[in-house]
Amino acid sequence: MSGGIELTAIDHVVLTVADVQATCEFWTRVLGAERRTFGDGRLALQVGAQKVNVHPAGPEPFDPNALHATPGSTDICLLTSTPLDEVIAHLLAEGVTLVGAPGLRSGATTPIVSVYVHDPDENLVEIACPVPRDAASPSAATRAARDELAAAHDDGSGHATHIGEVRRGFWLDQGPPSDDTQRLWAPWRFSYVSGGTPIEGCPFCVIPARGPERDRESLLLHRGEHAYVIFNAYPYNPGHLMVIPYGHVADVEDLELPAANEMWLLARRAVPLLKEQLGCQGVNLGMNLGSAAGAGIAPHQHLHVVPRWGGDTNFISVVGGARVMPQALTEIYDLLAPAFTEP
């Protein structure tokens, strides 16, 4: 509550558009809104219990009004109970181009999985499915949704498309399927395969030395006194974190006790955060000490904190045709950073 006013909900928003009829046709046909007429012939689009009023651009016919309203200046998120795979299939069938890849994002009251499109005025419209925060039985819900969608997408060949993956051409070029190849989205890996600027020296020493002003760019989530938390740039799962001491130390027996203690305290803090914000059902904690143990950067020890879901991605599940639910690392960073900095 602020300033003596207790806000409870948003009743409606206003879209300023170049073509009222084109906007109403898109919102009703593609987005499923209901066209409404109210007042003195004014038009609105009913979205659940709320509405979107549609105003033509130019001299504002209604008073009072926004002083600088222009078409294409609105960014709105719509919630849906329709599974995201079905939303995407419908949008593509309507010839609508997706803006970026689907992903997990932070909603007003709960995490959401969503996709973006532009309407005729190039307003950004996000269509989102809420993800339950309690995750009391998310694995059962996920399995049920996966099985339902798999049955719906089975083409009789014995191969059913899994949630989060598509056949060749389905949303890459929107053409007909031409093989059984499945696409696993991992957008954060592009900078790696395209050969981004390499770090000279130990990255676990160089990155924190850049300074806090570059923390988001570096995906450095939290700075402690003796250790810090950072995203793994090439993760095993979305939300894969690492807790790293500032000191360039390879072996745990050589790590000073204050740094060792803080590493585990930060890991303990990260685990419930991943459960709450990402809805994971388990977490792997572990260290690979030495190249023979699989350490990618052996001279500087680091503790992995990996969120896990029932049936999530690993080498065997990928080979077996299981799904991947990818997410741009900066989006997960923006989801976790505010919560991690809270006392």
Active site (catalytic) residues: 302
Amino acid identity at 75: D
Dihedral, 152, 156, 158, 161 alpha carbons, nearest 10: -40
Token pair 């932070």 is found at 106
Handedness of CA 212, 218, 220, 223 (dihedral sign): negative
**Distance from C-alpha of 132 to C-alpha of 135, rounded to nearest angstrom:** 6
3-state secondary structure of 272: helix
Amino acid making up residue 85? D
Q: Nearest-CA neighbor of 94 among 63, 65, 127?
A: 127
Q: Which helix (H) or strand (E) holds 171?
A: none
Q: What span, in angstroms and rounded, lies between the C-alpha atoms of 310 and 143?
A: 9
- What the block records as the tokens of 303 is 């503790």
Over 48-93, what HEC string results? Answer: CCEEEEEEECCCCCCCCCCCCCCCCCCEEEEECCCCHHHHHHHHHH
Q: CA–CA separation, 90 vs 128, rounded Å? A: 14
